[in-house]
Structure 1
Amino acid sequence: MKPTSRRILALAGVAAVAPLLIAATAQSGDPFVWLEDIHGEKALAAVDKWNAETMAALTAAPTYEKDRVEAKAIMDDDAQIAEPGQVMGDVVTNLWQDAKHTHGLWREASLSSFKAGKPEWKTLIDLDALSKAENQKWVWHGADCLAPDYKRCLISLSPGGSDADVVREWDRTKGKFVDGGFELPQAKSGVTWQDSDTLLVGTDWGAGSMTDSGYPRVLKRWKRGTPLSSATTVMEGAPSDISVGSFAIMDGDKRYVFVTRATSFYTSRAWVEGAGGALMPVPMPDTADLHGIIDGKLLAYLNKPMGEFKAGSVVSWPIAPIAEGKAPAPSLVFAPTDKQAVQSVATTDHAVWINLLDNVSGKLLALKPDVNGGWAQAVASLPDKATIALDAGDDKNDTVFATVQSFTVPPTLYAVGADGKADAVQSLPAKFDASQIDVEQYFATSKDGTKVPYFLARKKGVSKPAAAFIHAYGGFRAAQLPTYLTTQPYRAGPVAMWWVDEGQVYVLANIRGGGEYGPGWHDSALRQNRQRAYDDLYAVAEDLVARGLTTKGKIAVSGRSNGGLMAGVAVTQRPDLFGAAIIGSPLLDMKRYSHLLAGASWMAEYGNPDVPGDWAFIRKYSPYQAVKKGTKYPPVFFYSSTEDDRVHPGHARKMAAKLIDYGNPVYFHEYRLGGHSVGGDHGEDAVRAALIRAYLDRVLIKGDKSAP
């Protein structure tokens, strides 16, 4: 799930589980509501039983151990892109994980050596050593180093991978945590440097300080050398808000501090600090996303039309008048065509960078102000029909680092200049023979006539219908884009590579609800129109059948989080079409979702099930309520984490219990740690990859529909 914020008090909402369980049982008579008790003895006993049955069945597969070893070797391979986390003056940072450093090394290298492709790394924090010394499994959640000297950093570390983390101040010049420095206890907090001795902090301040969604409702200013309890209030939101937070943007050497109040998942208001710390409203629509400042111009992306500017455009306002309390007129920076979608916007000191999808194919633009007050464009000389990810920017040299890949092209890191010239910094060796694989883009026709794109990979020379594996998401504006077949987006590593090598068909579907064609592609599947996303998925599956690539019942659907909801809907609505389903960290009980952990933050996407009118359309697809006695469903593989503090593990548990109770086979694997990402290191990810491979072979290829 796309988070509005990634921090809250650990397991927020767990303390309230008991009354919630009583209320849920009284209102709905749900016989499996006890599985929502995250750490309950009875619930964990059921989880342990299901885990043991699944492990016994799938680890007995002749390919399991070989697959697990191969998956881990691929993930741990030293030949991996050293993705730049942040460019800080003349150095670049990176988080590195391999077989010897499962938790990771946070390290830095000189910018010049990095650009030359021969980085000279210096370790800043060894997370494995820190975890051992503190007897805690620390998972990296990032570093915020204060510009322009970057000497002091706020380090966020999660125990076990949950969204909640601790924040500690780090001295880069001394290479250690600051004695008596800023430190926040474990929570889903939002923290911003105001200056070297002041932080803006949103966290759990005690009773009533969190929103209904479980995020910070109160933002305070905290001065160095004072207790956290003495911090003074800057802004308070309403309990119904998603969160109140802050962030800072550099424009050259000038720092602008912003305060935000997210009133729903897709609406927020923003203020910039003016003279004396006064908060001045930013005159952009509450549906727009703020994306940076360049040469005194504040940039925003429009999710809805604004006057003469259409949705999907990038516009700008002069920031100086805004900081003085004025509301200047906006100007157009970039407007996409109907087949284009802006994926991300970044700035360096004198250039705007727009990562664009053009009919779901990546394109990177560099825009610089021209003499006529407009913007001159340069198209980066990057490979065509590939996926582009912006990693970090070198502000002073107007350069960005971008990683480019596709199903068959391994990741390559480029340094791209504002003139569009791109130099390869690092390219990974191939993990398989791409010359033996065909990659195609097709378009399926959905129920309402909409053309839905999907990407397909299969081995050359395979003419007979094969088993198909479809991965999709369909929500929260998140476009699904092709990545190398060893690193697919459902946290299953090389499963797609193995699948294609066996002669099967792998598909990535660009169903509505994502951002593949801009805001309209997302909005068309919101709330009461959610069924359109699922109809798009069925259209893709049926298009594969019509093309003779597969047959009904030989199709696996895969999705995680919101995609897990999609896969759950697919199983319950079309058990005739799908023969298997891989469902990770899912939302499934849509009657209860808004009362569980961060669920209330997603009502702008799905609706409010407590409102009768909303429940009328939600109940039509809610998977947990859709499971019926007497219907035979395909065997499902659930994977999740006990410590997922974003999507409640009770969703997967209850769905599994109900399916089993009605006589359906279920495979189930819940890690104790790992948070929403499920699995805290490569070893755990490799186990899951091997389990999924064994599950697909057993259920879809061999047709074994028995219980594990």
Structure 2
Amino acid sequence: QRGTALEQAKPIFTGDKTSVAVSGWVLFDDKTPLSLVTEAHTFYTASQYVYQDGKLIGLPLPQDAEIKGYFKGKLFIELKSDLTNKDGNFKQGAVVYADVADLIAQKAKFSLFVSPTQTASIAQLSFSKSAIFVNWLDNVKSKLVRYEQDEKGAWQSTQVPFEANGALTVMDVEQDSDDFFVNYTSFLEPSSLYTVNAKTLNPKKIKGMPQQFAADKFKTEQYFATSKDGTKVPYFVVMAKDLKLDGTNPTLLYGYGGFEVSLRPSYSATIGKNWLEQGGVYVLSNIRGGGEYGPAWHQAALKQNRHKAYEDFEAIAEDLIARKITSSKHLGIQGGSNGGLLMGAAFTRRPDLYNAVVCQVPLLDMFRFNKLLAGASWMGEYGNPDIPEEWAYIKTYSPYHNLHKDVHYPKVFFTTSTRDDRVHPGHARKMVAKMKDMGIDVLYYENIEGGHAGAADNNQAAELNSMAFAYLLQQLR
């Protein structure tokens, strides 16, 4: 109970020391609380328990499935791999549900709620008093759909009327109400807040951020590049409406490609003022490793397949050049954290392809990443370098181990923070020291504050951004 001294509290569950995390949490449907305990064995696998009447009961769920919600006595889960059982065959990325009472009794009967398509994945699930809302990502464009069960138990769907070219985020959905909020944005439209009623589906704009740059002078296009293995990889280009396709446009290609994180269209006054209005082209890549097409898109670049994400990124760079939007001389790239690893791999794999690299709070020494700070928890993503056969594929892209003295590299700008408690600043420090020892020209900035964000306040963020854009314009214009 609240206020009980810790030494008097009764332990409910103790996780194994080799697990990544243990947590207790509560889900609510319209009436009943459901107390859960989760033991995450790795970043992507977990065991789930219900705590009821002083007992802990394991739930018969796939360890790689993710609990998405609790609605009218049923537990909804998203599948990260195919599930075949007596109830049927359920696709990877589908959301299925079962009665909680049956799960507790170990007699679960799963039913399909929604399933992904070749182009559409499930970005978000939200549960109101009377309906379930699915935020679909269809070719990286958001679509919000309401689902209600009819008298026969069949799910009926209705789309909420929002523009298709932006990104939606559903907010503040409560299961005792039918009102909620939606944030809508795009590359050229500032973030706007709408209120939506789950019954009428009539969005009403409450307030929007003001325009901070001349967005009417620019346009957004979506293209698809063909990766080395034939996979079509989407990317967005934000550029001037009167852009000349002569290969001379300063172009910034941004990427991440990991941990099932989807990069969606979003408004940035910083990019608008400091890049687009300065004559630059901005490109957002949707490479494998992200979640743009569901779990399969992420898993396609895990561990020994990490190179797929890097091949996707290179394919987009080459496609930009083929379209004469830019050329290698005018092409710069940027990414942070796992995206910083992407930057390191990009310029060591294909130094000829880029003329500027902004590598922020990066992972770079992949032989020791699991020894530093939170690194051990990411072995589900990259593999374990202490296992020889796994190090054999990790070392093929580890940026620190793929530097060569006789290779001409673009002048890279590394940034990190002394107080980064997620990715150790030692990664960037070691990389820069090694490059300097090899006589390679390099730029380095280490902020003493800011943690993994690299900046502690708006003034520091402005200073960091101004350095990055000044560097990019110096290298590419």
2:262 corresponds to: 479
Distance in 2 separating the partners of 1:556 and 1:230: 58
2:94 corresponds to: 313
Contact 1:280 1:322 in 2 (8 A): no
Distance in 2 separating the partners of 1:638 and 1:647: 14
1:80-99 matched pairs, under 5 angstroms: none
What is the CA deviation profile of residues 532-561 of structure 1, one whole-angstrom value per residue up to 9, with x for unaligned ones? 100000000000100111111321111111
Is 1:289 paired with 2:33?
Answer: no
The amino acid across from 2:195 in the alignment is: A
2:222 corresponds to: 441
CA shift for structure 1 position 230: 4.0
1:196-215 matched pairs, under 5 angstroms: 197-198=1-2
2:385 corresponds to: 609
Contact 1:444 1:451 in 2 (8 A): yes
CA shift for structure 1 position 418: 2.1
Q: Relative to 1, partners in 2 of residues 1:440 and 1:589: Cα closer, same or farther, differing over 3 Å?
A: same
1:402 corresponds to: 182
CA shift for structure 1 position 677: 2.0
1:457-476 matched pairs, under 5 angstroms: 457-463=238-244, 464-465=246-247, 466-476=249-259
What is the CA deviation profile of residues 287-323 of structure 1, one whole-angstrom value per residue up to 9, with x for unaligned ones? 1110111111111111111121101111111113334
The amino acid across from 1:483 in the alignment is: S
1:347 corresponds to: 127
CA shift for structure 1 position 632: 2.2
3-state SS of 1:512 partner: coil
Q: Relative to 1, partners in 2 of residues 1:404 and 1:444: Cα closer, same or farther, differing over 3 Å?
A: same
Distance in 2 separating the partners of 1:639 and 1:686: 14
1:356-367 matched pairs, under 5 angstroms: 356-367=136-147
Q: Relative to 1, partners in 2 of residues 1:460 and 1:360: Cα closer, same or farther, differing over 3 Å?
A: same
Number of aligned residue pairs: give it.
470
1:108-257 matched pairs, under 5 angstroms: 197-198=1-2, 224-226=3-5, 228-257=6-35
Distance in 2 separating the partners of 1:671 and 1:231: 42
Contact 1:555 1:578 in 2 (8 A): yes
Contact 1:495 1:689 in 2 (8 A): no
The amino acid across from 2:327 in the alignment is: T
Is 1:641 paired with 2:421?
Answer: no
Is 1:392 paired with 2:172?
Answer: yes
TM-score (norm 2): 0.95
1:499-578 matched pairs, under 5 angstroms: 499-578=275-354
Alignment counterpart, residue 589 of structure 1, candidates 360, 365, 370? 365
Distance in 1 separating the partners of 2:384 and 2:121: 29
Distance in 2 separating the partners of 1:687 and 1:366: 43
3-state SS of 1:264 partner: coil
Distance in 2 separating the partners of 1:687 and 1:332: 50
CA shift for structure 1 position 340: 0.4
Contact 1:294 1:350 in 2 (8 A): no
Alignment counterpart, residue 43 of structure 2, candidates 243, 253, 265? 265
The amino acid across from 1:606 in the alignment is: Y
1:102 corresponds to: none
The amino acid across from 1:481 in the alignment is: R
Distance in 2 separating the partners of 1:692 and 1:311: 40
Distance in 2 separating the partners of 1:256 and 1:680: 38
3-state SS of 2:107 partner: coil
Contact 1:341 1:518 in 2 (8 A): yes
The amino acid across from 1:339 in the alignment is: T
CA shift for structure 1 position 410: 1.2
The amino acid across from 2:474 in the alignment is: R
Moved over 4 A (4+): none
1:130 corresponds to: none
Distance in 1 separating the partners of 2:8 and 2:412: 51
Contact 2:333 2:354 in 1 (8 A): yes
Alignment counterpart, residue 624 of structure 1, candidates 393, 400, 406? 400
Contact 1:295 1:350 in 2 (8 A): no
Contact 1:401 1:415 in 2 (8 A): yes
Contact 1:511 1:533 in 2 (8 A): yes
The amino acid across from 2:402 in the alignment is: A
Distance in 2 separating the partners of 1:482 and 1:372: 39
Q: Relative to 1, partners in 2 of residues 1:496 and 1:432: Cα closer, same or farther, differing over 3 Å?
A: closer
1:411 corresponds to: 191
Contact 2:127 2:174 in 1 (8 A): no
Instruction: State the structure with bigger RCO (CA 8 A, min sep 6), 1 or 2.
Output: 1
Distance in 2 separating the partners of 1:384 and 1:391: 18
TM-score (norm 1): 0.65
CA shift for structure 1 position 350: 2.2
Alignment counterpart, residue 114 of structure 2, candidates 328, 334, 340? 334
The amino acid across from 1:258 in the alignment is: L
2:156 corresponds to: 376
Distance in 2 separating the partners of 1:476 and 1:497: 30
Contact 1:496 1:506 in 2 (8 A): no
CA shift for structure 1 position 496: 4.8
Distance in 2 separating the partners of 1:640 and 1:529: 27
The amino acid across from 1:501 in the alignment is: E
Contact 1:378 1:418 in 2 (8 A): no
Contact 2:213 2:277 in 1 (8 A): no
Superposition CA RMSD, Å: 1.5
3-state SS of 1:233 partner: coil
1:651 corresponds to: 427
CA shift for structure 1 position 327: 2.8
CA shift for structure 1 position 328: 2.0
Distance in 2 separating the partners of 1:357 and 1:621: 30
Is 1:277 paired with 2:54?
Answer: yes
The amino acid across from 2:347 in the alignment is: V
3-state SS of 1:525 partner: coil
What 5-or-longer segments of structure 1 have no aligned partner? 1-196, 199-223, 487-493, 702-708
Distance in 1 separating the partners of 2:51 and 2:214: 55
Contact 2:330 2:475 in 1 (8 A): no
Identity percentage over the alignment? 40
CA shift for structure 1 position 674: 1.8
Distance in 2 separating the partners of 1:394 and 1:279: 27
Alignment counterpart, residue 663 of structure 1, candidates 398, 423, 439? 439
1:428 corresponds to: 209
What 5-or-longer segments of structure 2 have no aligned partner? none
3-state SS of 2:421 partner: coil
Distance in 2 separating the partners of 1:396 and 1:225: 30
Contact 1:259 1:272 in 2 (8 A): yes
Contact 2:76 2:95 in 1 (8 A): yes
Distance in 2 separating the partners of 1:279 and 1:351: 30
The amino acid across from 2:4 in the alignment is: G
1:598 corresponds to: 374
The amino acid across from 1:283 in the alignment is: P
Contact 2:81 2:93 in 1 (8 A): yes
Contact 1:585 1:640 in 2 (8 A): yes
Distance in 2 separating the partners of 1:232 and 1:657: 51
